[in-house]
Amino acid sequence: MQQNNTPYTSLVALGDSFTEGMSDALPDGTYRGWADVLAGRLAARAPGFRYANLAVRGKLIGQIVDEQVDLAATMGADVVTLVGGLNDTLRPKCDLNEVCDRLEEAVTRLAPSCRRLVLMRSPARRGPVAMRFLPRMERLFAHLETLGQRHGAVVVDLFGAEVLGDSRLWADDRLHLNAEGHRRVAEAVWQTLGHEPAEDWRAALPPAVPAPWPVRQAGHLRFAREHLVPWIGRRLTGRSSGDGLPPKRAELLPYEA
Domains and CATH numbers, the chain: 10-254 (3.40.50.1110)
* 52 half-sphere exposure, CB direction, 13 A CA radius: 22
* pLDDT for res 223: 64
154 backbone dihedrals φ, ψ, rounded to 5° = -100, 145
* pLDDT for res 92: 81
The neighbouring-strand residues paired with 53 are 13, 249
* pLDDT for res 238: 65
The predicted-structure confidence for 26-79, as pLDDT tens digits, reads as follows 999 899 999 999 999 999 999 999 999 999 999 999 999 999 999 999 999 999
pLDDT tens, residue order, the chain (257 aa): 556 668 999 999 999 999 999 989 999 989 999 999 999 999 999 999 999 999 999 999 999 999 999 999 999 999 999 999 999 998 888 999 999 999 999 999 999 999 999 999 999 887 776 778 899 999 999 999 999 999 999 999 999 999 999 999 999 888 899 999 999 999 999 999 999 999 999 999 999 878 777 766 766 677 666 656 666 666 666 666 767 799 999 999 999 87
Its pTM stands at 0.90
* pLDDT for res 172: 86
| Alpha-helix runs per DSSP H in 174-242 | 179-192, 213-223, 229-237
Alpha carbon of 149 to those of 76, 90, 145, 189, 194: distances in Å? 21, 26, 6, 17, 18
* Helix H or strand E segment including 118: strand 116-121
